[in-house]
C-alpha cells in the first residue's frame, strides 16, 4: 500500500513537472500591416523560441482586398493556442473569426499586441474594449496619460490631440509598475533605441493597468505628456497585453530595428508567458538597458 501511494505521488510530481515545462503555444497573426510584417513575424518567432518556453505558429490573412473565397480560408482555431500575438494592422476580420477570438479571450486566452496591432478594428467594439487605447481620432474616445508622479490623467473624448507620433528618436521608457511579473527587475527608467513614440491614443480605456510610459517631447513633435507605452486589460477570464513600442517600417535596415531592444524583447516574451500562465519564469537578459544606454540584441 505504501509503495503504491509513493508511486502515485511520484507520478503526480512527474506530471506536474511536465506540465510546467510544456511549451506555451503562441499563434502570431499577420497578413496586412503598413509595417514590415514579412520580416518582423519571423524575427518575433525567433525571439520567442530562443527562450525555450514557446512553440510558435503563424497564420496569415489574405492581403488587402483579398477575395471572399480567400477570406473564407482564414478561420484560425484560436482555442488550439494559449496566446495570440497580433502583428496585424489591416481589414477587420470576418464575423466568425471575431466571434471566435472574443470567445477565446473570454475563456482565458491570452493576447499580446505589438506596435500597430492597436491600429485596426475601429468598428469592432469588443476589440476596442480589449486594447483600451487605440490609434484613433480624438473624438473616438478618452485619452489616458500619467502625471509625473504616476497619477492617471483622463482627457475626455474630443479634447486634446488624437493619435499620432512625432519624429522618431531614442527615448526613455519609465517602468510604472515594477512589481508586475512582466516588468519586475527592469530598471525604473531605461533607454529605448530610435522608435516611434505613440501619443494621443483613444478608446474606452477601462480597467487599464499601465505598466510603462514615455515622455513625449514637444521638441520632436510630441505632446509634453507621459504617454502609455505598455499596458494590459483583463477581458473575461483572459488577459490582453499591448505595447506600442516596436516600429519597423517597410525595408527598414535591421540594424535600426527597435525590436532589437532587450527591454522590448523581455517585455514581449515575458508578456506571452504571463498572459498564458499568470506567471513569469523567463529571466531578464544579463545586459539590460540602463538609464543612459540602450541594449540591443545581436
Residues that bind Zn ion (CB under 5 A): 196, 247
Whether 44 and 114 have beta carbons less than 8 Å apart is answered as yes
Nearer to Zn ion, 45 or 247 (CB): 247
Closest-by-Cβ residue to Zn ion is 247
Q: Which of residues 202 and 247 has its CB atom nearest to Zn ion in the complex?
A: 247
Helix (H) or strand (E) holding 99: helix 95-106
First to last CA, the chain: 57
Nearer to Zn ion, 166 or 181 (CB): 166
Of 288, 244, 234, the C-alpha closest to 262 is: 288
We find the least distance from the C-beta atom of residue 110 to Zn ion, in angstroms, to be 23
CB of 9 to Zn ion, least distance (A): 53
Cβ closest to Zn ion, residue 121 vs residue 274: 121
Least distance from Zn ion to the Cβ atom of residue 35, Å = 6
Task: Kindly state the cell numbers that stand for 113.
Answer: 499586441
Stretch (H or E) spanning 258: none
CA distance 264 to 266: 6
Shortest reach from residue 196's CB to Zn ion, in Å? 5
Query: Closest CB to Zn ion among 23 and 249?
Result: 249
Query: Shortest distance, CB of residue 244 to Zn ion, whole angstroms?
Result: 9
| Separation CA 294–CA 223 (nearest Å) | 23
Phi, psi of 126, rounded to the nearest 5 degrees? -65, -35
**Residue 232 to residue 151: CA distance in whole angstroms:** 17
Amino acid at each position: 500500500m505504501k509503495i503504491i501511494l509513493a508511486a502515485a505521488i511520484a507520478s503526480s510530481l512527474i506530471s506536474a513537472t511536465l506540465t510546467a515545462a510544456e511549451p506555451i503555444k503562441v499563434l502570431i497573426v499577420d497578413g496586412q500591416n503598413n509595417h514590415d510584417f514579412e520580416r518582423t513575424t519571423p524575427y518575433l518567432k525567433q525571439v520567442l523560441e530562443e527562450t525555450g518556453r514557446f512553440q510558435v505558429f503563424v497564420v496569415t490573412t489574405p492581403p488587402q482586398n483579398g477575395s471572399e473565397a480567400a477570406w473564407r480560408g482564414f478561420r484560425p482555431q484560436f482555442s488550439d493556442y494559449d496566446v495570440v500575438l497580433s502583428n496585424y494592422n489591416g481589414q477587420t476580420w470576418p464575423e466568425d473569426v471575431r466571434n471566435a477570438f472574443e470567445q477565446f479571450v473570454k475563456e482565458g486566452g491570452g493576447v499580446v499586441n505589438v506596435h500597430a496591432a492597436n491600429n485596426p478594428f475601429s468598428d469592432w467594439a469588443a476589440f476596442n474594449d480589449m486594447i483600451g487605447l487605440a490609434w484613433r481620432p480624438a473624438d473616438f474616445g478618452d485619452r489616458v496619460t500619467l502625471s509625473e508622479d504616476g497619477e492617471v490623467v483622463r482627457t475626455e473624448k474630443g479634447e486634446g490631440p488624437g493619435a499620432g507620433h512625432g519624429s522618431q528618436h531614442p527615448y526613455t521608457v519609465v517602468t510604472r509598475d515594477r512589481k508586475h511579473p512582466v516588468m519586475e527587475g527592469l530598471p525604473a527608467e531605461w533607454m529605448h533605441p530610435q522608435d516611434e513614440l505613440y501619443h494621443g491614443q483613444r478608446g474606452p480605456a477601462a480597467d487599464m493597468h499601465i505598466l510603462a510610459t514615455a515622455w513625449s517631447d514637444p521638441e520632436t513633435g510630441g505632446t509634453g505628456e507621459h504617454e502609455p507605452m505598455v499596458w494590459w486589460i483583463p477581458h473575461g477570464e483572459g488577459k490582453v497585453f499591448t505595447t506600442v513600442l516596436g516600429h519597423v517600417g517597410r525595408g527598414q535596415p535591421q540594424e535600426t530595428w527597435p525590436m532589437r531592444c532587450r527591454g522590448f524583447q523581455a517585455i514581449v516574451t515575458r508578456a506571452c508567458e504571463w498572459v498564458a500562465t499568470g506567471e513569469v519564469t523567463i529571466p531578464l537578459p544579463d545586459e539590460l538597458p540602463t538609464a543612459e544606454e540602450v541594449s540591443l540584441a545581436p
